[in-house]
Chains A and B, each alone.
Chain A
Amino acid sequence: MEEHKAYIESGILELYVLGQLSAPEMLEVERMAASAPEIKRELEAIEIALEAYAIENAVEPREDLFNTLEAKLNPVQQTSFSIQPPPPVKVEQRSNKSLMYALAACVGLLVVSGIALINAHVELGKAQQQIIALRTETDRYAKGMNVLKQTNIELQTVADMIDDPNWAIVQLAGTKTSPASKMMVYWNRKSQDVVLDKSRMKLPENDQAHQYQLWALVGGKPVDLGVFDVKTDSAQILLRMKEIPKAEAFAVTLEKRGGSVNPTMDQMVVFAGVSI
């Protein structure tokens, strides 16, 4: 008895209630409490005092706090309150039920994960499509840029040619066959280069079976200077033809694809004599 009193007086029971003891110390207190009713009573008295102390210091929570809490509780099951201890079978059912709930939760989680995965996949697909679209657009701009660059170079060449006195500018006018047609040929008497200016060309578009053929008249005879196509969507401006040292006139006829040895005279679309 005296021993118990000293134990109580040591203050260890208070520390036990305050959760201040290590696991072995707690076990010791529990062992003592189980064997000595006066220690058990003392413990309870301490607990009740601290409980009363806490209740005396209570602070009412804001009114809707329990509702928030209730939503988080996620009940394992909802039954009316019963003070009778449940029969063991019921306990069995409950654990089964909780297992079912856990299983349902797992399935739910799986479904949610699946949906999230599909969503992510769809999003990824969209992103890839966007990347492809952007790449195509970039390519298109790059191509456009090249065309512009090329055009610019060619226009610069035209400008240089006009400045150069060696270049003769020959304007070919439409014939009876094609009065609306006209064309421009640049001819360098010195270098013998012959260049067509497609930007100043007005010829009907040729089909797949035919091509235009450029001729030079030299000593009254037609000399082949090469074939060309007329396409409205072509960005090319300057078209280099075969060289010719001398020419009295230039003419264009519409021939079968690949050109002819002699011009088909009734298919002549433009013609011009060269002034010397």
Chain B
Amino acid sequence: MTTPKKLKLSEEELVQALKNQDITVMRALYDMYGAALLGVILRITQHTELAEDLLQETFLKIWHAAEKYDATKGRLFTWMMNIARNLAIDKLRSKDFKNSGKNQDIENNVAVIDNQKKQIINIELLGLRDLVTGLKPELSKVLEMVYYNGFTHAEAAEALNLPLGTVKTRIRTAIVELRKQFN
């Protein structure tokens, strides 16, 4: 995936440059993590154009909130990923997005909407196939909900009609499985 042109730096270098508000670091961060963040955002929003807008917003926020990042509290990517996720989930919950969705519903007929839904399902399936193969559906479902759908673990527990402890355990188990896969 990575071409020789793309910038790559160590996490310490990235953090240092980001804290120094060195604009060059944005190119490096973008080259290294832009696609990963877009993958996360796209998985949440299911809409390429919107996801790319949100990716830009994510990087703007990373740039402007750089001083708030605390390396002792977690890795840089975790921080960036949570910015991306929060922006995407907020967008989905926001009024204007819901309104635009409504407008689409009015403009388009039911068949088109059904197609869109099918597409979303297909994307989900594609996304899950090679990566979460090892995961049992019950694990991937919980992970999907809290990771991509903006559910809190308490909401996920309620939605799945499971005890909170079970949901927590399943999230942990799912991530343990992922850790095995990615070594």
Q: Across the interface, do B43 and A57 meet the contact criterion of CB distance under 8 Å?
A: yes
Q: Could you tell me the distance in whole angstroms from the C-beta of A75 to the nearest C-beta in chain B?
A: 4
Q: What is the CA–CA distance of A55 and B1 in the complex, to the nearest angstrom?
A: 10
Q: Which of B75-83, B90-98, B114-122 contacts A (4 or more CB under 8 A)?
A: B75-83
Judged by a CB distance under 8 angstroms, whether B30 is at the interface is yes
Q: Tell me whether chain B's interface is mostly helix, strand or loop, or mixed.
A: helix
Judged by a CB distance under 8 angstroms, whether A19 is at the interface is yes
Q: Across the interface, do A58 and B75 meet the contact criterion of CB distance under 8 Å?
A: no
Judged by a CB distance under 8 angstroms, whether A9 is at the interface is yes
Which residue of chain A is the closest to B127 with respect to CB atoms? A57
B residues 51-87 near A (Cβ < 8 Å) are 51-52, 55-56, 59-60, 63, 72-75, 77-78, 81-82, 85-86
Q: Tell me whether chain A's interface is mostly helix, strand or loop, or mixed.
A: helix
Judged by a CB distance under 8 angstroms, whether B17 is at the interface is yes
Judged by a CB distance under 8 angstroms, whether B26 is at the interface is yes
Which residue of chain B is the closest to A12 with respect to CB atoms? B168
**Chain A residues, Cβ within 8 Å of B78:** 17, 47, 50-51
Judged by a CB distance under 8 angstroms, whether A18 is at the interface is yes
Q: Across the interface, do B172 and A11 meet the contact criterion of CB distance under 8 Å?
A: yes
Judged by a CB distance under 8 angstroms, whether A183 is at the interface is no
**Chain A residues, Cβ within 8 Å of B37:** 54
Judged by a CB distance under 8 angstroms, whether A72 is at the interface is yes
B residues 131-168 near A (Cβ < 8 Å) are 131, 146-147, 152-153, 168
Judged by a CB distance under 8 angstroms, whether A35 is at the interface is no
Of A49, A69, A72, the residue contacting B179 (CB under 8 A) is A49
**Chain A residues, Cβ within 8 Å of B81:** 50-51, 54
Of A15, A57, A72, A85, the residue contacting B153 (CB under 8 A) is A15
**Chain B residues, Cβ within 8 Å of A45:** 179
Interface CB pairs A-B, < 8 A, 22: A11-B171, A14-B175, A15-B168, A17-B74, A19-B82, A30-B72, A30-B73, A47-B77, A48-B75, A49-B179, A54-B40, A56-B131, A57-B36, A58-B39, A66-B30, A70-B26, A72-B60, A73-B23, A79-B22, A81-B25, A82-B17, A94-B20
